[in-house]
Each structure stands twice: as structure tokens, then as C-alpha cells.
Amino acid sequence: MKKVELLSPAGDYECFLAALSAGADAVYLGLDKFGARAYAGNLSRKELFEALDISHILGRKIYLTVNTLFKDSEIDELYDFLYEPYCRGLDGVIVQDPGVISAIRKCLPHLPVHVSTQAAITSSEGAMLLKKLGATRIVPARELSLEEIKLLKSRTGLEIECFVHGSMCYCYSGKCLMSSFIGGRSGNRGRCAQPCRLPYSGAYPLSLKDMCTVKMLPKLIDAGITSFKIEGRMKDSGYVHSVTSLYRKYIDRYYENNEYNVDDTDLKELIKKHTRSGGCDGYYFRHNGKSMITPDSPAYVSENSSSAKPLKKYELPKMKVRISCTLKEGCPAEISVENDGIAAKTVTDVIPERAINRVVTEDDVKKQLIRTGGTVFEAGSAAADIEPGLFIPNGRINEIRRQGLEGFTHKILEGFRRSDAVQYSPAVLDRCAPRCSEEYPKVRVSVLNEGQLKAAVLSRADAVIVPMRLLLQEAWRKISTGNCRIYAALPYVIREESRVNSPDNVRKFINSVMASDEISGFYVSNNESLQLLNECGYDGEVIGDIHLYAYNREAYAFYKENGCTGLTVPSELNERELKSRQVTGEELIVYGHLPMMISANCVYSSSRGCENRDAGHDFYLTDRKNEKLYVSCICSECMNVIYNSVSLCITDCADVFDAIRPSSVRFVFTDEEPDEAGRILDIYMSNRHKNGSTDEPITEKYTRGHIKRGVD
């Protein structure tokens, strides 16, 4: 049985040394940009190269985090950013953005690509879409059960990397826009301000306990997981060393013994020092639960610290080698260094001389050859073949040893070097044709209930976007839609274990749509939906929603090539970035409370108990500023959606409309009563210009979102 990989975090070089010292098989780390932990210390490029060489000598691996969404101006930087690490043998990159995967495949053909948990892969369909693009490993959403992970592994054949310890997000990672919308710090750009750790309605209902799975490691290993990942690039070297050491101990214990038990002292060490509020075992055997929440406080306290006292110095493991040298008068000394897998013979620039007073002995030479301190090598044995009557000073013997180890190091590292990088060439976009100046942008309306659907139809909207769960009910067919087209919004999340939004049920729904003429197209929020539509052979209209992040031309091209006939203007890009992106004809959201969190955990259930109503629940959370956040509890999909407390309104941003020429504008209705929804639409319809803008905002209290400020 191939042993599971233990993967540890490194926020800086000291943490990297701590991870190797503690027995990590691989380390994931970041440089000064493009990583999802922008506020970690991170490594310099020089430190990365040193880390790569040390790791490769010791048989370990380095994975570089490149798991932010890339703006279009940044995608051109990717080649230069990764070129040197790639040539030096970087073992893999962790990526969220499909545009980055596409660009890497063009220019760095043999670089393994690991899809970040930020990509929120929740079933084999989404994984297969990215496998076709070139992904080699998936870090699935942390919300998946162990049974779902087994299916993902068996159906895709991809490597699977799963978290086993550390902090957890309340939202499906990558689908969280809360920090971005509220504070301008985007989690998709590595700058999350952790609003989930703040109080709401007098408690901390969005704060999850830290994960601790040491007691269940045998079940995780038997599930076929490739790599066990410890969270913590924002934590110090003491945490990295302590947690890695304990997981190393118990992984090895499982492989070496038929019985598996965790010592009480070790478990207490992990729980007290390295978890928030006592810890939990994550989602592997539960969909959600009150026991996963820290309702009273999200903080680490003194007796429950997130850190351990750092060691003064971390002792790196050593590679045992055999060293031998040959000394002949007037000839350059030769030295051979070898272990069980590799050997290198080096002709040095040291030339022994005939002895005048004292003859060098074999013991003299061997004594110096084994002094490998300060290196990652340990001399298991040493030998010397010396022509009689020679003398050589100890310093010169040391030089022979140094050159020999350098030659051996070069021999090892040359196997990791690459020289096949190809200069990056940008994607050529199939841009949408400019909208005719005589036509208004189409008006599309996203609704959550039948009352809003009726209001949209009465207000002469061109199309209404209805969640799949409502279209599965017969009631909507009683509404006369006239010339208004109906689009189906496929679920935010598609999972094997779900009652409504499982891949099989979504596939069945798609096939039913294809067999009728009631639905004009689909809105999709994830890679799973795209793959299912492709598998079903659907060739109609497919619009990528705001969670299909096409921030750059490569991502845009990827989604267009995989079934999207249109995309939604990215919600985190500002006016200048949208103009420079030069994509026209997309759909622009101009009004609405946008979804900030999509979660498997349930605020309602955690606070009041699960009632599992077919109609779900609608309620509000109150933040520290007394703002009300609308929460849609979707029981049929066992999922919460938390919306922004303030509505977006950009209808009066005429220059944006002129620059991106949207083919359609969208109104997003959430908790609006039908009369209010109709009133807002009527105001817009009565005041819009040909380009789609209005002279004044169409509502009083609103936010511009990121159209002016953007995100870093």
C-alpha cells in the first residue's frame, strides 16, 4: 500500500524547516503574491529555491500556492512568476482559477496542477471538467463526507488531497464574498478579513471549530486519500512542528501496527494547544451540526492557544551516504559519494603531494570525510585508497569532501531540472458582438419565489431566472408568463448525498428541460453544472453566474469553450479593470442583495433546531452595525445562502454601460415583496436609456459594490 502523504504548511522559511524536521513528506508555501494567504510571511524566491533543493535531496516535495483569482493584467505575469521555480523542479502548484490552469498547460507542460479547495469541487463531474483541462490532483470542498470523497477518487482516478487539521471556513471556500462585499478584502484574493468570526444576533453562529482528525486517520487512509493536509500558513513554526510531529507519529503507527490508538496526552496536546474551542472532526461523518460551531467565542484562549512555543533550532533529517576517495601523487583527488539510489564521482582540483615529514593515513582521511555537519548528508561509512608516501592537509581533505558532496548534490538535483518551458501566448477570445445601438439591453430578473416571478412578468421583463427547486414544483406552471422567457438556475452546490441537488437529480432535470420547450436556458454557478450539461448533450443557452469567476481572458475562454454561451460580469472587478478586460456582451447585475455565503452548515438549525421544511426558512442575522442580513435556509438542498444587507445599485453608472455594452441587465430579488419588486422594475423600465443606464439610482439605500473601489 502506497503511504499517504503528510502535507504541512509553511508561512515562512522557519516554518518550512519546522515541517521537514517534524517529518512532513511535502510542504505547501507561497511567495509574495498570488497565494490565498497574502498576510502570511511567505518566502523570498531565494528561500524557495533553497527549500526546493533541500526537499529534493531529502526526497520531499514543495507545492507552491498560486490559488487566487487572477485579474487580466496579472495573467501575463504568470509565466515569469513560475518560470524559475518550474525549471528548478517545483513539484506542483495549487490553483483556484481555471484560467491559471489553462495558462500553465500552455507554457509549463510538466508542472503538476493541484486544484485548490477554493475551487469548491463537490462531485466527480466538476473534477472531471478540470481533469480535462490538465489538473492532476483535487483538494475537494471541506464539506464533503468521506463517502463522497471515495466516489470522487474512484470515478476520476485523480489524486485527492484532504484537510485533516486546522481552521475551517463556514462557507464553501471560493464561494464566500462576505469579506469582499463588506470590507473590500477578498478571500478570492488571499485577503479574507474573517467576518465569520464576528458576532451576529448576539452570538457567533458562523464560526466553526477547528478540525482535528487524528482519531480517525485509519478510516481516512483506507478511503484512498492521497495526501493529508494540515491547515496553518498563518501560524508559527511551533504550531507547524508540533502538529506535524503528532500526525507523523500516528500515520506511521497505523502502517506499522495492526492496532491503532491515540495516546490521551497527545490528543490533549492537539486539542488544547492547536484547536479552536475544543475541535471537531470536520464534515467527514456529518453534513452539519451545532457541535461544529463556537457560539460563545471564536477566539483561541491562553489554555487553548493556536501556537506552540517555537524550538530554537530545527534539526533537519539527513541522507545517509557512503563516501570514498582515491589519492595519487600528482593527480587530482577523486571522490565518490553514493547512497542506495544514486552515485556521483567527482574529480576535484586538490592534488596530493609527496610527504616530506608526515605521511597521511587512511584514518586521517576518513576522519575528515565523515565530517558532514552543516549539510543534509550523514556519512554512514568512509573509505580511502591512498598511494603510499603522500601528504595532504586536513583543510584540503575537507575541500575534497566539499566538492564531492557538491557533485553528489548536483547529480540528485539534475533529475529535477526542466528545460521545456514555452513562452506564454494569451488566449484569443471569441468576444461577443457589440449590441445594436437601436436595442435596449435585455432585462432579466432573478427570483426566489412565485410572487416575485409574477411581478417580473407583469413588469415586462424579458426573462426570469428561477431556481431549479421551484421549477420542480408544479405551481409555477399556473403563472401565465406570456412572452417572458424562463431560465433555470441550477443549484449553487451539487453533491452526491443531496436529496434534490445530486448529480443524478440535476442530470434528470436537464434531460426533462431538453425534452420540452418550457425553459429557455440555464444559469450555472459551478463546474459540476457545466460538466453535467455537456454530458447530457445540451447545446442551448448557458449563462455563467457570478461564482464562475472569469476575471481574466484565459478563464473566460475556458468557460466559453466548455458550454457557456454567456457570462456574468465579475462582481469583484472595478470599472477600470472591466474596461481593460475588453469583454463586451455579458450580463451585468445592476440591482440586488448579492449572495455572500453559501454554506453546508445551517444557521437556523444551529440556533433553533432542524425543522427540515419543504419550503425552507427565511430569517435574518443582525451584525455589529445593526444591519440585517437576509438568510435563505434551503432545506431541500440542506444549504444556507446569506445575502448582503445592502442592495447593489449601479443603474446610473452610464460609463460602465458604455464600456462593457452588456447584452442584458439583471435584477436580483431576494426578500423583496412582489409589490416592491414590481415597483423597482417599473422605475427602471420608465427611466432607462438605450445603453441600459438611468440618470439616477433606482433605490434610496444602496452600495456600488466593487464597480468603483474593486479589490486588491
Paired sense of beta strands 595-599 and 639-643, if any: antiparallel
Instruction: State residue 405 phi and psi, 5-degree precision.
Output: -70, -35
DSSP state of 431: P
pLDDT of residue 527: 98
C-alpha cell at 253: 503507527
Are the CB atoms for 438 and 690 separated by under 8 Å? yes
Same fold, 5-168+208-292 and 442-592+648-687: yes
pLDDT of residue 79: 95
pLDDT of residue 503: 97
Are the CB atoms for 386 and 360 separated by under 8 Å? yes
Q: pLDDT digit string (tens) for 521-563?
A: 999 999 999 999 999 999 999 999 999 999 999 999 999 999 9
Are the CB atoms for 532 and 494 separated by under 8 Å? yes
Q: What CA–CA distance (Å, rounded) separates 564 from 459?
A: 28
pLDDT of residue 303: 46
Q: pLDDT digit string (tens) for 552-595?
A: 999 999 999 999 999 999 999 999 999 888 889 999 999 999 99
Spatial CB neighbours of 505, under 8 Å, sequence gap ≥ 6: 498, 499
pTM, two decimals, is 0.95
E strands within 303-415?
Answer: 319-327, 334-338, 343-347, 353-354, 377-386, 390-391
Lowest mean pLDDT among 126-135, 178-187, 244-253, 396-405: 178-187
How many other CB atoms are found less than 10 A from the CB of residue 421?
17
Mean pLDDT, residues 381-395 = 95
| Domain ranges for the chain | 5-168+208-292, 319-414, 442-592+648-687
C-alpha cell at 142: 471541506
Q: In the predicted model, is pLDDT for residue 202 greater than 60? A: yes
**In CATH, what number does 442-592+648-687 get?**
3.20.20.70
Helices (H) and strands (E) in the chain, counts: 22, 28
**To 5 degrees, how large is the angle CA 647–CA 652–CA 658?**
125
**Does residue 628 sit in helix, strand or coil?**
strand
Q: What CA–CA distance (Å, rounded) separates 403 from 510?
A: 67
Closest to 24 (Cα-Cα) out of 41, 43, 5: 5
Confidence of residue 312 (pLDDT cuts 50, 70, 90): low
Share the mean pLDDT of the chain: 93
Q: In the predicted model, is pLDDT for residue 687 greater than 90? A: yes
Regarding the domain delimited by 5-168+208-292, which CATH topology (the fold level of the hierarchy) does it fall under? TIM Barrel (3.20.20)
What proportion of the chain, given as a percentage, has pLDDT over 70? 97
Q: What CA–CA distance (Å, rounded) separates 701 from 712?
A: 25
pLDDT of residue 100: 97
pLDDT of residue 292: 95
Mean pLDDT, residues 391-400 = 95
Sign (positive or negative) of CA dihedral 649, 651, 654, 657: positive
Spatial CB neighbours of 560, under 8 Å, sequence gap ≥ 6: 429, 430, 567
Instruction: State residue 498 phi and psi, 5-degree precision.
Output: -80, 150
Spatial CB neighbours of 367, under 8 Å, sequence gap ≥ 6: none
E strands within 449-484?
Answer: 463-467
Q: In the predicted model, is pLDDT for residue 613 greater than 90? A: no
Mean pLDDT, residues 201-215 = 95
Spatial CB neighbours of 317, under 8 Å, sequence gap ≥ 6: 20, 21, 23, 58, 376
pLDDT of residue 274: 85
Confidence of residue 429 (pLDDT cuts 50, 70, 90): confident
C-alpha cell at 352: 596530493
C-alpha cell at 344: 556521483
